Amino acid sequence: MATQYAITGTTAKEIAASVERGVSDGSLGPGAALPPVRRLADDLGVSPGTVATAYKELRVRGIVVTRGRGGTVVAEVPSVAPRRPPKVPEGLRDLAGGHPDPALLPALVPPSRLSPGARSHRSMPKLARLEEAVRDRLARDGVPVDHVTFAHGALDLLARLFSVELRPGDAVAMEDPGYHHLLDLVAALGLRAVPVAVDDEGMRPEALEAALRAGVRAVVCSPRAQNPYGGSFTRARRDALVEVLRTAPDVLVVENDHASEVAGAPLWTLTSGGHARWVHVRTVSKFLGTDLRWAAAACDATTLARHDGRLLLTSGWVSHLLQETVHGLMTDDSTRALVARARDAYALRRTALLGELSARGIAAHGASGMNLWVPVRDESAVVNGLRSRGWWVAAGARFRLASAPGVRISVAELEPSDGALLAGDFAAVLGESQATYGG
């Protein structure tokens, strides 16, 4: 029970605001239980209905959740206090962040031609030359390009799209383990994540089928470089998933191709299967620059209208300065050569570490992208053990819904020679863990 924070207020609005303040300043942490409705009503001298209305408002806004007999508690990822990764301790090699190697990114130079004057771009939100370049790239990968839009990154697009497509309480099929920021976003919007198991080929068809039977209204998946598992659709897996989705034509399918150019695997896209509601999202932060918060999306006509209608009411358009920068890099021969070098380097570093771990009897997954997922029994023991040896890896808890424990290792800046050192330390840590907790 929230005994360290006194909830105040005499109206539903005031009570909800008091709880929100407690969550925002950390007085009410994730999982903290709120008082039962009748008890808080007695304490504040209001009716139980007033408290119930306040709690309902907080649930709708993704700040609290109800756990049946467990009562009302602060959400694990409340919308007013998003979870952030822990700060990397000084002196450790950071293999947890998932960022690209800065040495393999082009220099970000503002465009020489700036937008003239102070004017609105609402009537022409997309640069025609950038839209043409995007259509060309997506079409080469087999993605339909009749309808294309831009956003400030994949999470920005999905937050806007989910806000018009879904309602709090709706179920969304999510990869498990999956990208933690997407899991956080779904929770913050008051949506319910339904775990879908993945393997080296991405989402497992039988797991997706089970999620559809559970009534999900949207599916979010990665066709390659799945984060954190590294899975990549094969043609056979794509075809199997397309068949499963035929039973649910009204479900929105979101394909997040976040690593695209540096994934190290071909794209077998679900969007070519004729599904009615879909969106394919592609960002550039992994290979053009982490500060380029830009995304392109191809989608069906209904999805385009709903997304762009909400975009028009909020930011209006994506900065033309940003679009000019992306277009300049995307069409530059030296940048394309650097991106190709980055793709090959990440593949070499990933496969080298996989080989070193395998040589020591350690199973790991990383068919594409720049991350490896290593199943372990005790995440904390492995993370702390590697920390004592100078390595900082990500505990899998942030990425998991119902899947087994593991740790994520980002290999973007890990040279093959360093991979051998890490694998040796990993094996030693596992040996220590088994000696402490049993085999």
Domain edges within the chain? 12-74, 93-101+337-437, 121-333
Specify the pLDDT at position 437.
46
Which of the 8 DSSP states describes residue 163? H
Contact indicator for 220, 172 with CB cutoff of 8 Å: yes
Angle between helices 180-188 and 154-165 (to 10 degrees): 30
**CB of 168 closer than 8 Å to CB of 190:** yes
Q: How far apart are the C-alpha atoms of 226 and 201, rounded to whole Å?
A: 9
68 Cα distance to chain centroid: 28
User: DSSP secondary-structure letter at 348?
Assistant: H
| Element at 347 (helix H, strand E) | helix 333-359
CA distances from 361 to 231, 351, 356 (A): 21, 15, 9
- In terms of DSSP bridges, do strands 371-375 and 406-410 run parallel, antiparallel, or are they unpaired? antiparallel
- The residues of the chain scoring below 50 in pLDDT are 1-2, 437-439
Q: Chain-wide mean pLDDT for the chain?
A: 92
Q: What does the alpha-carbon distance between residue 123 and residue 115 come to, in Å, rounded to a whole number?
A: 15
Q: Which CATH architecture has domain 121-333?
A: 3-Layer(aba) Sandwich (3.40)
The secondary structure of 395-439 as a DSSP string is EGGGG-SSSPPEEEEE-TT--HHHHHHHHHHHHHHHHHHHHHH--
HSE-CB at 261 with a 13 A cutoff on CA atoms is: 22
Preceding amide of 177 cis, omega within 30 = yes
CA proximity to 427, closest of 341, 366, 364? 364
Q: Tell me if the bond preceding 78 is cis, omega within 30° of 0.
A: no
Note the pLDDT of residue 189: 87
> What's the pLDDT at 54?
94
Q: Are the CB atoms for 184 and 178 separated by under 8 Å? A: no
Asked whether 95 and 410 are in contact (CB, 8 A), the reply is yes
Q: Which residue has the tokens 């299967």?
A: 273
Give the span between the Cα atoms of 104 and 287, in whole angstroms. Answer: 8
Report how far residue 369's alpha carbon sits from residue 351's, in angstroms, rounded to the nearest whole number: 10
Confirm if 218 and 248 have CB atoms less than 8 A apart: no
Helices (H) and strands (E) in the chain, counts: 13, 15
Domains 93-101+337-437 and 121-333 agree in fold = no
Nearest to 257 by CA among 236, 238, 275: 238
With a CB cutoff of 8 Å and minimum separation 6, the contacts of 10 are: 44, 45, 46, 50
Q: What is the pLDDT, as a whole number, of residue 366?
A: 97
Decide if domain 93-101+337-437 falls under CATH 3.30.390.50. no
Residue 214's pLDDT is 96
Task: Indicate the CATH number of 12-74 among 3.20.20.70, 1.10.10.10, 2.30.42.10, 3.30.470.20.
Answer: 1.10.10.10
